[in-house]
Amino acid sequence: MKKIVSVVSLLACTLAAPTISYAADEVNLYSARKENLIKPLLDNFTKETGIKVNLVTAKAGPLLKRLETEGANSPADLFITVDAGRLHKAKEAGVLQATTSVALNEAIPAEYRDPEGFWYGLSLRARPIFYVKSKVKPEELSTYEALADDKWKDRICIRSSENIYNQSLVASMIANIGEEKTQAWADKLVKNLARKPKGGDRDQIKAAAAGECDLAIANTYYYGKMLHGKDESQQKAANAVAIYWPNQADRGAHVNVSGIAMTKAAKNKANAQKLMEFLTTKDSQKWYAEVNYEYPVLTSADWSETLSSWGKFKADSLNLSQLGEKNADAVKVMDKAGWK
């Protein structure tokens, strides 16, 4: 059934695609980000450079499959997706090419880009611990590893092992503490879950606020959307919890990226590189922070008032390419632990 869904999604993506061209003043972008989370920046790029951006949006899996199917005939110059694990999958699929850019290398810290230049992070999202303020004191918390302690039995909400964000979290732990210790941690974490994993990140926070659990693991991006969205029930749930930044005494909190890469089939390479560099300028990075509630990869860019209110934190400095490299090991650990 999953294969049928993928084919249908790919067909829908193909049918919905706008006219793609190779004109000198255009660039073609396949994006797994929702249109409203990228198009305003693309419009700014067009106003500033006169280069038109032809945008195709769809889910990450079908877009990657489309790039593979189109091969050298793909009209896409650039590919945007979320999570370093997915970016690594695209690299492994052979649909990307390395980009050499002094501007990108200077703007983006080494840990947030592929060591060989196949992809570059555009924005950061952290995956900390959220605790119910009326039930948990922050001094009770410390690290991701400590979530395996018996005191958290039946008190944790987290989404399924099929989710790439959780796979990347586990991959980061394997990279930092080794597979054996990560396996022991995952085995115990599963026993501490308050319910069978279901729903997205927002659902974990809503479940915590509703009393189903006391702790939730989620990306900060979703938390910001809940706090400032129009859904009053989500606002209420978000206000019932607070962020705890784990592992501040050692490696730091787990972070991931949304990122961009030049496709192997790119025909408009110069324009593609201009857009990549534009998305890492101060103004673009500030927009990510203010509108998407994501952290800038550019260290000199300003944080929004919302991000600043969550406090400064130490982020894991692991090169995020390892999240993709260790993805298969992470999935194996999660399966062995019975993480549904």
Tell the CATH superfamily of the 126-253+325-337 domain: Periplasmic binding protein-like II (3.40.190.10)
Which has the higher per-residue pLDDT, 106 or 9?
Answer: 106
Residue 87: in which H helix or E strand, if any?
A: helix 84-92
Please indicate if the annotation marks 222 as binding a ligand: yes
CATH code 3.40.190.10 region(s) in the chain: 2-124+256-302, 126-253+325-337
Q: What is the DSSP letter of 135?
A: T
Tell the burial category of 119 from Cβ atoms under 10 Å away from its Cβ (0-12, 13-18, 19+): buried
Please indicate if the annotation marks 221 as binding a ligand: yes
2-124+256-302: CATH class = alpha beta
Query: How sure is the predictor about 34, in pLDDT bands with cuts at 50, 70 and 90?
Result: confident
Report the amino acid identity of residue 146. A
- With vertex at residue 222, the alpha carbon angle to CA 220 and CA 227, rounded to the nearest 5 degrees, is 95
Query: How sure is the predictor about 288, in pLDDT bands with cuts at 50, 70 and 90?
Result: confident
Please tell me the predicted confidence (pLDDT) of residue 154.
98
- Please state, as a whole number, how many other Cβ atoms lie within 10 Å of the Cβ of residue 39: 15
Query: How sure is the predictor about 13, in pLDDT bands with cuts at 50, 70 and 90?
Result: very low
Of residues 221, 266, 255, the one with CA closest to residue 79: 266
Mean residue pLDDT of the chain comes to 93
Report the amino acid identity of residue 260. I
Mean pLDDT of 53-71: 96
Report residue 194 as tokens.
Answer: 């308050």
> How far is the CA of 236 from the CAs of 109, 135, 206, 249, in angstroms?
36, 16, 9, 31
Statement: residue 308 has pLDDT above 50: yes
Report residue 107 as tokens.
Answer: 């703007």
Which has the higher per-residue pLDDT, 136 or 8?
Answer: 136
Share of the chain above pLDDT 90, in %: 91
- Asked if 77 and 266 touch (Cβ cutoff 8 Å), the reply is yes
